[in-house]
Structure 1
Amino acid sequence: MRLLRGFGWFLFTLLLLVFAGVLFARKVSNPLLSGTVSLRGLSGPVSVTRDAWGVPHIRAQASDQDALYALGFVHAQDRLWQMEFQRRIAQGRLSEVLGEAALPQDKFLRTWGFYRAAQAALPALSARSRSLISAYTAGVNAAIAQDRLPLEFRLLRFRPERWTDVDSIAWSKLLAYDLGGNWDQELTGQRVVNRLGAAALSSVLPPYPAGAPTILSSQELNLPTSRRPGPAAAPAGGVQGVTLPADALAQLQTQLAAAASLGFANVPGKGSNDWVIGGGRTASGKPILADDPHLALSAPMLWYLADVQGPTLHAIGATLPGLPGVVIGRNDRVAWGVTNVNPDVQDLFVEAPGAALTSRTEVIKVKGKPDVRLLVQESAHGPVVARSSEWNDSKDRAVSLEWTALKSGDTTFDAFFGLNYAANWQDFTAALSSYVAPAQNFVYADTAGNIGYYAPGRVPIRSGGGTGGATGAGWDGSLPVPDDAAHTWTGYIPFGQLPHVYNPADGLVVTANNRVTPDGFRPFLGNVRNWAEPYRAERILQLLNGKGQPLTVADVAAAQLDTVSLVWRDLKPYLLAAQPRDALSTQALSLLRGWDGNETVSSVQASIFEGWLMELENMAQDELGSGVTLTSLAVLNQLKTNGALCKGPGAATCAELLSGTLTRATGTLAARLGTDPARWVWGDLHHSFSKHGAFGGVGAISWIWNRGISTPGGTNTVDVARPDAGTFNQTHAPSYRQIIDLSDMNRSVFIGTLGQGGNPTGSHYADMQPMWRDGRSIPMSTSAADWGRTQTLNLKPQEAGAQR
């Protein structure tokens, strides 16, 4: 995020001096890790034992509420700035502390109403959930009252307000945005249709390939035959939409840019992997469950590993600072993992002239400047995100957004708390019946040997297209549409009809954001262009099905870390047929011949391939403008057919495009790594980049927080590591890894991208990073024998009338 780049060098120097003063004179920001502290709001004693990696093992004696209280306390101890920054994003209150540079972000956040959606969600939750959230909130506030504030608060010279229950829900709305939207794809789709025609839509946004791996087979679909949708029509034939005027498109692009500056961008190849293997296929005879969600890298890291136990709550895994409970992990009997389903749950509607709108004024406070008043309007669909009077009839119209995550009655927190307590498949599915957004692929395993899969969440049923799908003349969600009777949401797919399977016959469920249902079934989850390319799913299946012996945890770990590129496999014949135009291109092409596609840190070929692919992914920019990047699948389709997108300045055919892009790619690599292609080592070019939200773009001090390390992998490898255009940095990655062994839960392992701490001078700020890069893990164990060197902080209830 570049919100602070407007600071002058004088302020840079001042910030450095303040940092030095805090570092050497005052270390009060370090959390209290041992001893005893009395806290108001506890009903009984709680011990917090941090292990050798800083993971807290919480043991509450009196109540589960006390366990969540302690989780809130340790979250705030280690990650208070992260929590503060996240809630200010959700509230649209960044300008209060960062100044007017943050106004575009605040305007976007207030217009969409993320925090208002969180406020509307709280009353819908069960009494148990509200009690646990309130306990967590009390724990956060107890830590704030300790007055051991992180460095960021001191540099920006403000103190955090008290935490609220709504704050504990608000960040989940931003995560739903990051994982559950395709409105930007609708804008790209419209640009394609406007400039190239509807027939070109599949060239830029290709549908999921026929015959590619799907999560469920036709035999595994747990739907009555009479309710199974029929075959899908050709995607381009049913595309219908409304052309947005240039000024409306510009307003929407401004909001996309604001979201991207906050780390919420629809990056090609972003996704996750998870799978579950039945005991019939494992050496132990019990299931193995693996998960590695791929999200934006940040400093501190997104996740916080924790072991939380009360009298009945026993959960360990990945938590999110600011949110109570374990999001991904296990309890004593059940394990679960998640990846993104990518259903189409967002639509842009063009309201009729004079449509009924409600209005409110949002007041944005700006540091050092007058308040800014922002008019926000909503239609029956949702927030008005653009306006224009430049339609063909010159009438003023609003463009509004309908999205499941902004609707009232969001009970997703009930679902996650239910997972923490689940003892079997029945409990698991009962919990998921409350799930709303973002829709996820949940894999399941239990100690009794059962495995399963469910894809919960609200998925709209669109009028004119059957159950959320598209007929040849229907509405498939690819483009903005008019607000009329033919374009409405008529409800949501019933929970029992969502894709699921329990104990599949082949003992294996693999998800990698790929299509859920097989060919021959209408894409009832929405737009056929939403799913990720099939390469990760195909490679995982190759690795797991290709083992001749029963699978072990080590086999699963090796699959998670696999860096063989199936994209290279498919593009190889076309790339190797290129005609080089210079000596450097000739050398590079020679190095690619015979390459096995393994993108290790020591690979030279990975640098050449990814640099070349990066150039090829820009082939549509002369037709559609800068910012439009093709997927590797779209590139492949163009090369296979000598497609029209190959043609442009300096290239009349795909063959000429290949030669030109190879020249540009090798020129870039030579400028970065020297003129000897044999020295173009991938690890010298490709680094993870974990960036601090507020100060990560302030050049003079960004080094204090930002972290990077050379990394393997590339575009659509299982260990996903797509390089960013221009920098070759890896900004999205497996943000957390877990492998859960149901034969002995304490032999399970997990790891994060950086470390548990939020203090950049602390020992646990980035101690996990080398382990994460190298594929090592730490024990996901509730047994003290596995924790290594420990420190224990005892929390006890404050006596009535006692002072802190």
Structure 2
Amino acid sequence: MKYFKAIFSVAVTLALIWALQHKFGSLPPIGNFFNPANGFWQNAESKHILTSEELKIEGLQQPVTIRFDSNMIPHVFAKNNHDLYLAQGYITARDRLWQMDIQTRSASGRLAEVVGPKALEVDRYHRRMGMVYGAENTLRGIMKDPVMREVITAYTEGVNSYVRNLSPRDYPIEFKLLDYKPEEWKPINCAFLLKLMSETLAGGSDEFLMTSTLKKFGAATVKDLFPDYPFRTDPIIPAGTKWDFKALPIPKPSKSFLAEQSDIKTTQKVEGIGSNNWVIAGSKTASGYPILANDPHLNLTLPSIWYQMQMEAPGVNVYGVTLPGAPCVVIGYNNKISWGVTNVDADVLDWYQIKFKDASKNEYWYNNKWNKVTRRIEEINIRGEKTLYDTVLYTHHGPVVYEDTNKKPHYSYGNIPVGTALRWIAHDESDEFKTFYLLNRGKNYADYRTALTYYTAPAQNFIFASADKDIAITPNGKLPLKFKDQGKFILDGSDADNDWHGWIPAAQNPTARNPAQGYLSSANQWSTDPSYPYYINWQFGPYERGKRINTRLAVMQKATVDSMRTLQTDNYSIFAQDVLAEMIKYIDPSKLDENQVQVLNIVKKWNKRFDADEVGASIFNAWWVNFYTQTWQDQFGKPTDNNNLKWPNRDRTEQLLLKDPQSKWFDNTTTPVTETAGDALNNSFAATVSQLTRKYGKPGNSKWQWGNVKKTYINHLANIPGFGAGNFKAGGTATTVNALIDGHGPSWRMVVQMGPQVKGYGVFPGGESGNPGSFFYDDMLKTWQNGKLNPLLFMQSANDQSNKIKSTLTLTAK
């Protein structure tokens, strides 16, 4: 018996040892994870670990000094370019290594390597969209430039100097949770980040939906409901601007074509969410110098999408934010200039229907002859399973993303219909980092304009201010020369007239400098008025945010940094101002019950601000959504119906309400009577009161407040529970300058006061560290939530004295 007990004890011990070293489902080996020497315990940090030290690292030519301020923001001082970017790579990897890794894995279609088959659809989508193909082309463009080749190579050396000396105990906690090891950085990883931004900001398409809508309703209805220019706008380049160039001939439209349709639809573009930037001239500021502001609106995550830093070496001293994994400063300022960006939303992605010769798909019809298809094999490694070899067909347009719905599993991620080839600017050779490299060193307007000529995608509205008192804005990127509405619908891939016929010359991209009005701004709205000779797109962001910004800037005199900060967090809705009175006009209080009267009185008295404690904001928002849905759902179907139809946008719906309330579109075709806008408003108001009462109780109680009704949250980048900021009460919405809604909003707020001594202010919702166990993981979150800005420490040398400096890291050659 004693032998049995001994054997049983040994067996149990061995079983426990085995269990501790192996994964269970999505859990890491628990022995490794809880190991006190190497497990998650090692990721906990004291509240303020800011100790000075000296480290020897590989690749340095001369010593580098990095000073850390009270927010752990690094201020890097190097003696040459090579060391500057090596140190940037090193220190960014030290703080954000897992974020750098997982973002490039996502862009390159390599998530399944670490999380298994559940990520296969995402990986296939990114591979088949040509993300790797595009990154390869971009890297080729970067490496052709000797300066940028040195920059990206040095940055890569810096990352790898950190990775090679990293022990398992020091792995970021996400590596431990997902049970995989960091790998060495490659220059192409930097290019993958550019592709990820192109996917986010220039990867959407409504062509399939518009083609289906055209097929159902016809050209006249589509032209009416989806106009090429909105009924009102406040363009980025001031209306009436004269164009001082001779435009190139515009390509002739091809013959009419209506594509065949599949049963799968694309994800529609999200309407009404975007970024803001503006600049106000010295003639309207208290200092006499321009003030520039920028708040790019992106998905809000922890770690933050941005990483703050200062970089100084001979010829450059710049402060701002960069993307972890990318060299240079993307948004920021130096002693002479400042700049910021918002998305243009240019149409740089088109789909072409392809006609194959036969089932072999070796040839396709184009320009009156059969052309050879090329095949690219995408090798996708899957954790715990066999490697998948996925063949992608390439035409001269680009990849045929999904060509066969009969294969299993269906290529469902991204909802791309079959048989169409993708022409996308993100596939082209480019060198966007050169733009930021030059802006970081820019001294004046001429330098700004030169820097922009190197930028390809995603197209951005580059706002500018200088110590010379110049202000400017340029919707900028490599923009294809198109005929009007080219890419509004699926194109005939066999007709050469549908190809992109060159590019709008960079010098002819729309731009404005020192306008008489004394300010410039962008909020993703239309780039120009109709006088601009080139076609950029047929749809942009709604005009309300841009209108509110321009209205406020127009009346400002002796403006200050705080004037700009207040405007960045402005919750007043021009949309509500324009439409609410018209909505209320149709409601007869004598026909309402007690609850409905109370709700109507609340929204009547509402100040049209989407502040967190406003009940009227919740009522108006729900009422409009219900009205909008009732207007279009009967003929366009529910978005969940998979009927492939594009709904008319909010702007066109508002125009019908204000200008044509008897429009046939307000009639609910499922009822025997003929309804007008007034009927739709009364029905939707009743539905709104019932909906809100059912969900939040008696009308007007605190649960009805906008901050409680609206869900605002900041999740962990991988949605790991406990690593995000959770839900919190906040104001703002898609139609306000403070466009904060759900998990999307101002990812970095920056204000820069130009002058003899440039002063910067900024904050993002998070912290510098990517370690959830660090005090500096989210130490700036409260400041951001409260609508405040931190004064930014812009040092002129490593020897500057400041009580904000808390530690020093000296890097020397190993």
Q: 2:330 aligns with which of 327, 331, 338?
A: 327
Gap runs ≥5 in structure 1: 1-7, 257-264, 391-395, 723-729, 799-804
Residues 548-576 of structure 1: per-residue CA shift (max 9 Å, x gap): x3222111111111110011012212321
Helix, strand or coil: the match of 1:70?
A: helix
Aligned to 2:217: 196
Distance 1:771 1:9, change over 3 A: farther
Cα distance in 2 for residues equivalent to 1:98 and 1:388: 26
Moved more, 118-127 or 499-508: 499-508
Q: Which residue of 2 aligns with 1:726?
A: none
Structure 1 residues 492 and 26: alpha-carbon distance in aligned structure 2, compared to 1, 3 A threshold: same
What residue identity is the alignment partner of 1:201?
A: V
Q: CA deviation at 1:500?
A: 1.5
Relative to structure 1, the CA distance from residue 239 to residue 340 in structure 2 (aligned partners, 3 Å threshold; closer, same or farther) is farther
Pairing partner for 1:100 from 117, 126, 137: 117
Q: How far did residue 513 of structure 1 move?
A: 1.2
The match for 2:551 is 542
Match of 1:35 in 2: 53
Partner in structure 1 of residue 244 of structure 2 = 223
Whether 2:764 is the aligned partner of 1:752: answer yes
Distance 2:27 2:476 in 1: 48
SS of the counterpart of 2:732?
coil
Q: Does 2:683 align with 1:683? A: no
Deviation at 1:713, TM superposition (A): 1.0
Shift of 1:134: 0.9
- Check whether the contact 2:486–2:498 (CA below 8 A) recurs between aligned residues: no
Q: Does the CA-based 8 Å contact 2:239-2:529 persist in structure 1?
A: yes
Quote the offset at 1:218 in angstroms. 5.3
The alpha-carbon distance between structure 1 residues 99 and 203, as it changes in their structure 2 partners (threshold 3 A), is farther
Q: How does 1:566-585 map to 2 (within 5 A)?
A: 566-576=574-584, 577-578=586-587, 582-585=593-596
Of 172, 180, 193, which residue of structure 2 is paired with 1:171? 193
Q: Check whether the contact 2:64–2:87 (CA below 8 A) recurs between aligned residues.
A: yes
Compute the TM-score of the two structures, normalised by the length of structure 1. 0.86
Task: Determine the C-alpha separation between the residues in 1 that align with 2:297 and 2:732.
Answer: 13
Residue 4 (structure 1) aligns with:
none
| Structure 2 partner of 1:153 | 175
What amino acid is aligned across from residue 556 of structure 1 in structure 2?
Answer: M
**What is aligned with 1:259?**
none
Find the aligned partners of 1:178 and 1:684 in 2 and give their Cα distance: 28
Separation in structure 2 between the aligned mates of residue 509 and residue 190 of structure 1, nearest angstrom: 36
User: Could you say which residue in structure 1 is the equivalent of 2:616?
Assistant: 605
**Contact kept in structure 1, 2:55 and 2:812, CA below 8 Å:** yes
Contact 2:302 2:723 in 1 (8 A): no
In terms of Rg, which structure is larger?
Answer: 2
| Aligned residue number for residue 349 of structure 1 | 352
Q: For residue 554 of structure 1, what is the amino acid of its counterpart?
A: D
Which position in structure 2 is the counterpart of 1:512?
523
**Residue 11 and residue 363 in structure 1: after superposition, are their counterparts in 2 closer, same or farther (change >3 A)?**
closer
Query: Structure 1 CA distance, aligned partners of 2:573 and 2:34?
Result: 44
Instruction: State the one-letter code of the partner of 2:789.
Output: S
- Range that drifts further, 535-544 or 620-629: 620-629
Match of 1:369 among 379, 385, 389: 385
The reply on whether 1:525 has 2:544 as its aligned counterpart is: no
2:397 and 2:731 map into 1 onto residues whose CA distance is 44
The whole-number CA distance in structure 2 between the counterparts of 1:652 and 1:733 is 37
Secondary structure, counterpart of 2:325 in structure 1: coil
Q: TM-score if structure 2 supplies the norm length?
A: 0.85
Aligned to 1:564: 572
For residues 703-761 of structure 1, give each alpha carbon's deviation from its aligned partner in whole angstroms, at most 9, with x where no partner exists: 23354422111121011124xxxxxxx22101111111002555320111222221112
Paired residue for 1:86?
103
Secondary structure of the structure 1 residue equivalent to 2:61: coil
**Aligned pair 1:142/2:151, yes or no?**
no
1:64 is matched with which residue: 66, 81, 89? 81
Give 1:767's aligned amino acid. Answer: D
- Equivalent AA in structure 2 for residue 358 of structure 1: T
Partner of 1:718: 737
Equivalent positions of 1:234-633 (< 5 A) are 241-247=257-263, 250=264, 253=266, 256=267, 266-354=269-357, 355=364, 356-387=372-403, 398-407=419-428, 409-462=429-482, 465=483, 470=484, 475-483=485-493, 484-522=495-533, 524-529=534-539, 531-547=540-556, 549-576=557-584, 577-578=586-587, 582-619=593-630, 620-627=632-639, 631-633=649-651
2:776 corresponds to 1:767: no
Sort the Cα spacing of 1:240 and 1:417 in 2 relative to 1 into closer, same or farther, 3 A: farther
Counterpart residue identity of residue 476, structure 1: Q
SS at match of 2:386: strand
- Residue type of the alignment partner of 2:480: P
- Superposed displacement of residue 170, structure 1: 0.9
Query: How many residues in Structure 1 have an aligned counterpart in Structure 2?
Result: 740
For the pair 1:213 / 2:234, whether they are aligned, the reply is yes
Does the residue aligned with 2:148 lie in a helix, a strand or coil? helix
Q: Residues 120 and 624 (structure 1 numbering): CA distance in 2 closer, same or farther, change over 3 Å?
A: same
Q: How does 1:91-130 map to 2 (within 5 A)?
A: 91-125=108-142, 126-130=145-149
The one-letter code of the counterpart of 1:101 is: K
| Range with bigger deviation, 646-655 or 705-714 | 646-655
Please show how residues 614-763 of structure 1 align to structure 2 within 5 Å: 614-619=625-630, 620-627=632-639, 631-640=649-658, 641-642=660-661, 643-648=663-668, 649=670, 652-679=675-702, 680-694=704-718, 696=719, 702-722=721-741, 730-743=742-755, 745-763=757-775
Separation of aligned partners in 2, 1:517 and 1:550: 28
Aligned to 1:262: none
Supply the distance in 2 between the matched residues of 1:146 and 1:676 (Cα, whole angstroms). 61
C-alpha separation in 2, matches of 1:302 and 1:123: 26
1:428-450 residue CA offsets vs partner (Å, 9 max, x unmatched): 11111111111111111111211
Counterpart secondary structure, 2:502:
strand
- 8 Å contact kept, 2:77–2:84: yes
CA spacing shift, 1:601–1:630, aligned 2, 3 Å = farther
1:76 aligns with 2:93: yes
Amino acid at match of 1:141: N
CA change 1:84–1:671 in 2 (3 A) is farther
Shift of 1:13: 10
Please state whether the residue corresponding to 1:489 is helix, strand or coil. Answer: coil
Aligned partners of 2:698 and 2:470: how far apart in 1? Answer: 56
Query: Are residues 367 and 454 of structure 1, via their aligned partners in 2, closer, same or farther at CA, if it must alter by over 3 Å?
Result: same
**Contact 1:181-1:344 within 8 A present in 2 as well:** no
Amino acid at match of 1:538: K
Q: Secondary structure at the match of 1:171?
A: helix
User: 1: CA distance between counterparts of 2:767 and 2:433?
Assistant: 26
The residue type paired with residue 79 of structure 1 is R
Q: Distance in 2 between matches of 1:676 and 1:41?
A: 66
- How far, CA to CA, are the matches of 1:587 and 1:305 in structure 2? 48
RMSD, matched Cα: 3.0
Question: How far, CA to CA, are the matches of 2:687 and 2:456 in structure 1?
Answer: 46
Which stretch shows the higher mean deviation, 446-455 or 93-102?
Answer: 446-455
Q: Report the 3-state secondary structure (helix = DSSP H, G, I; strand = E; otherwise coil) of the residue aligned with 1:551.
A: coil
> 1:780 pairs with 792, 799, 807, which one?
792
Aligned residues of 1:352 and 1:397 also touching (Cα < 8 A): no
Give the SS at the match of 2:572. coil
Residues 792 and 584 of structure 1: is their aligned pair in 2 closer, same or farther, counting only changes over 3 Å?
farther
Match for 1:273: what amino acid? N
Amino acid at match of 1:543: R
Q: Does the C-alpha gap of structure 1 residues 397 and 550 become closer, same or farther in structure 2, counting only changes over 3 Å?
A: closer
Q: Which residue identity does 1:124 align to in structure 2? A: G
The percentage of aligned residue pairs carrying the same residue is: 30
Specify whether residues 176 and 602 from structure 1 end up closer, same or farther in structure 2 by C-alpha distance, changes over 3 A only. same
Q: CA deviation at 1:487?
A: 1.3
